[in-house]
Amino acid sequence: MSKYTIIVEYDPEAKAYSVTVPALPGCTSQGDTIEEAIANAKQAITGHIEALRQIGEPVPVETERPQALTIDVAA
């Protein structure tokens, strides 16, 4: 079992949540709800890792967790 950080963002135009996986470039997913987006992300990560193994590429291991911070900026 491996752990990967996912970034979930709401897309108002698509009215859905998009997911990216910073440690696995190109691994993305989406869902109509956050729960669906997370479930779909798990499937996407599994598929992405399987594809990397099939083509003989190394599977990135997340060693450092990304941080999302909200800051105030005078604009």
Q: What CATH code is carried by the domain that includes residue 41?
A: 3.30.160.250
Residue 18 parent element (H or E): strand 16-20
pTM, 2 dp: 0.86
> Domain of 48?
1-75
pLDDT given at position 8:
96
Asked if residue 63 has pLDDT above 90, the reply is no
d(CA 61, CA 41): 16
- How remote is the C-alpha of 33 from its chain's centroid? 15
> pLDDT confidence of 64, banded at 50, 70, 90?
confident
Give tens-digit pLDDT for 5-43: 999 999 999 999 999 999 999 999 999 999 999 999 999
How many structural domains is the chain composed of? 1
Q: How far, in Å, CA of 56 to CA of 71, rounded?
A: 41
Question: Is 90 exceeded by the pLDDT of residue 45?
Answer: yes
Q: Give me the sign of the Cα torsion angle 2, 11, 34, 31.
A: negative
